[in-house]
Structure 1
Amino acid sequence: MLPKCPVCGKEMIVTELHCKRDEVTVRGRFRASPFDFLDKDELEFVILFFRARGNLKEIERYTGQGYFALRGKLEKILEKMNLQPLGEMKEEISEEDLFKQVKEGKIGVEEALEILKKRKKGGESDV
């Protein structure tokens, strides 16, 4: 399943689901969950992550896998789900893209202003 349209980049909407076994078809407008893009192993990792309450060190002890391997797996899953870690997207986005997101209704004006204020404070020195 494609999360975004390959032509315009907008979110894809599922309009039909079909079961080959029973020959049942359901039509409508369905939004795909970010979890729908994960394979079985990735979904099992996410469930383990939830059960460990987000503690990768605990998962490391449980699975025997190294912390950085687990962190890499988590990063790949976030990418596959089209999710960015909190704070990263807003810090890396250009002002032009920020204004574009406001125009498209992806973020509010207040949120955009807050991001710009934080950037300005971050750029000032205390000297």
Structure 2
Amino acid sequence: MKLPIFCPSCESTLRVSQMTCGTCSTVVNGDYDLPLYLKLNRDEQDFILEFFLNSGSIKEMAKQAELSYPTMRNKMDDLIEKIKNLKS
């Protein structure tokens, strides 16, 4: 099962409030931000993973997705801008 990252009611980013150790059942409670990567939607996470697995080659990603290089570059630029805004 994948970790939900957005509220099903209002679509806001969820925060972590509890984690449990699968070995000893220790429970940690608090109010924690999700890591930046988890604040991205699944498609954006997959895009970053594919970029990594393609050794950072946008050209190879475009080829595999049967898209033009400029189209893939624009997707990358949009994602970079989103990440910059999330960091602010």
Q: Please, what TM-score do these two structures have when normalized by structure 1?
A: 0.43
What displacement does 1:16 show?
A: 2.2
TM-score, length-normalised on structure 2? Answer: 0.59
CA distance in 2, matches of 1:17, 1:79: 30
The letter for the 2-side match of 1:36 is L
Q: Which residue of 2 aligns with 1:115?
A: none
Q: Which runs of 5+ in 2 are unaligned?
A: 1-12, 20-26
Flag the structure with more relative contact order, 1 or 2, with Cα contacts below 8 A and sequence separation at least 6: 2
Tell me if the contact between 1:34 and 1:82 (Cα under 8 Å) persists in the aligned partners.
no
Q: Which has the larger radius of gyration?
A: 1
Aligned residues: 66
| Identity rate, percent | 26
Q: Conserved in 2, the CA contact under 8 Å of 1:17 and 1:26? A: yes
* SS at structure 2 position matched to 1:16: strand
Which residue of structure 2 aligns with residue 108 of structure 1? Answer: none
Partner of 1:70: 72
Question: What's the C-alpha RMSD, in Å, of the aligned pairs?
Answer: 2.6
